[in-house]
Structure 1
């Protein structure tokens, strides 16, 4: 078995690897594989001999240079960077490098992974989360001085924190005297998130705003009890319609 392994052509292994590979020494590229040619949009002869620093933005070059020098001794951590292709276009990548020996020459092998799609998806998810957070803190006016806060979807700690910050502000802006907090579209909350949400009641009370909780499922009520939440000053009813009846509003569904 060892004899077979000793006859493996490692250069051939690198050449046909699916991810771009670069080998450089003393800030000079000495080898790239076929995937790197395709990725950088240039033939090998246009890349070999160039400095690996040339693909980085000026603001990153000093840090990358230090990273390269350290990588001669031990593998460097995986990092994310924006780099240039040979045609001047930029691309978001993940970089990993480690020391290798090319004969008697100390060199560094760098793996380049295109993460453009992942970064675009992260940006999209972040924008969607921002829009959802803004929507989640929106108060829907029902009648004069009465509004509803419909809690929607999954609520994590960050979203709960934003609710605690924004809802009292929106209550004052809209001159709300009574806020109905509707949990009917919420199916799961953890202890930390639940604590944040029920803190809204305390803040509203300090502002002189009455709050009514609707649509609280038994499992969510159990979490609230575990937190020691006191509902003595906060009525809880099944539906928004029940809350309006409690407020003495004559409401009939169309």
Structure 2
């Protein structure tokens, strides 16, 4: 025989839910589940009766208060916040709340999800991307006034934009007169990203810096043609070695010394 949904004890459902749940009304907490006790490092007795605003930083309380008042009528959007546990430690969380009825009392049920690990991973990823971006705009010196810019990895619009900003500045800082831009480690670029990167040679030209493009694959060359990139003033050769030959620079593999033919 099937059970009637009205027979389900929802208090048991939320009590044993794995994520912390708080029910509050008129800025007073009236219920927390077991997971919330563990998360906030306090007992039900210590939490119930407190204001839900108490867990937030002072700078967030006004916006949270407004959010709570609106949530009596409709579910609120998911937000990320830093909140306090009962022992004073802070934690990054994701919050979602919606209206509920406790008998005849309008209340709000709030779900709390710990996102500390996710935020830490995102921070680490951003730091890695920043390091990659810094490395990608590093000029490898050959001789005085000569350098190579090896383009590495996957480029999105933001990374390409940063490259366009940093390379001309680095060129001027290192007093480079000729820059070899090597595409051999780039396999795919969309047209918007490609446009940023190909603009580097144009900007360098305005600065009086000669540029040579190497390692341009057929599919990337096609993108350049579609963008109307003019290579009349920018030589393109297959390899960095070919560019060195074009410049009259010889590389002594045995001694790792680079010399310029006179």
User: TM-score category by the smaller chain?
Assistant: over 0.9
Alpha-carbon distance, 1:131 to partner: 1.1
Q: Distance in 2 between matches of 1:159 and 1:71?
A: 39
Q: Secondary structure at the match of 2:249?
A: coil
Aligned to 1:215: 215
**Are the aligned partners of 1:245 and 1:251 in contact in 2 as well (CA < 8 Å)?**
no
Q: Distance in 2 between matches of 1:212 and 1:234?
A: 6
Q: Distance in 2 between matches of 1:208 and 1:91?
A: 52
Alpha-carbon distance, 1:3 to partner: 5.2
RMSD of equivalent CA atoms: 1.2
Q: Which runs of 5+ in 1 are unaligned?
A: none
Give TM-score, length-normalised by structure 2: 0.94
Instruction: Say if 2:168 is the partner of 1:175.
Output: no
Aligned to 1:240: 240
Q: Distance in 1 between matches of 2:230 and 2:117?
A: 47
Aligned to 1:227: 227
Q: Secondary structure at the match of 2:128?
A: helix
Instruction: Say if 2:136 is the partner of 1:150.
Output: no
Alpha-carbon distance, 1:252 to partner: 3.8
**Are the aligned partners of 1:20 and 1:111 in contact in 2 as well (CA < 8 Å)?**
yes
Equivalenced residues, count: 254
Q: Distance in 2 between matches of 1:5 and 1:18?
A: 22
Q: Secondary structure at the match of 1:182?
A: strand
**Are the aligned partners of 1:29 and 1:49 in contact in 2 as well (CA < 8 Å)?**
yes
Q: Distance in 1 between matches of 2:79 and 2:145?
A: 53
Give TM-score, length-normalised by structure 1: 0.97
Q: Distance in 2 between matches of 1:205 and 1:227?
A: 18
Tell me the alpha carbon deviations over residues 54-103 of structure 1, each in whole angstroms, 9 at most, x when there is no partner. 10111111111111111111111111100000111000000000100001
Q: Which runs of 5+ in 2 are unaligned?
A: 255-262
Q: Secondary structure at the match of 2:251?
A: coil
Aligned to 2:260: none
Aligned to 1:82: 82
**Are the aligned partners of 1:184 and 1:216 in contact in 2 as well (CA < 8 Å)?**
yes
Aligned to 2:67: 67
Instruction: Say if 2:205 is the partner of 1:205.
Output: yes
Aligned to 2:259: none
Instruction: Say if 2:128 is the partner of 1:94.
Output: no
Q: Secondary structure at the match of 1:251?
A: strand
Q: Distance in 2 between matches of 1:3 and 1:138?
A: 68
Q: Distance in 1 between matches of 2:33 and 2:90?
A: 20
Alpha-carbon distance, 1:158 to partner: 0.8
Q: Secondary structure at the match of 2:195?
A: helix
Deviates more, 1:96-105 or 1:219-228: 219-228
Q: Secondary structure at the match of 1:30?
A: strand
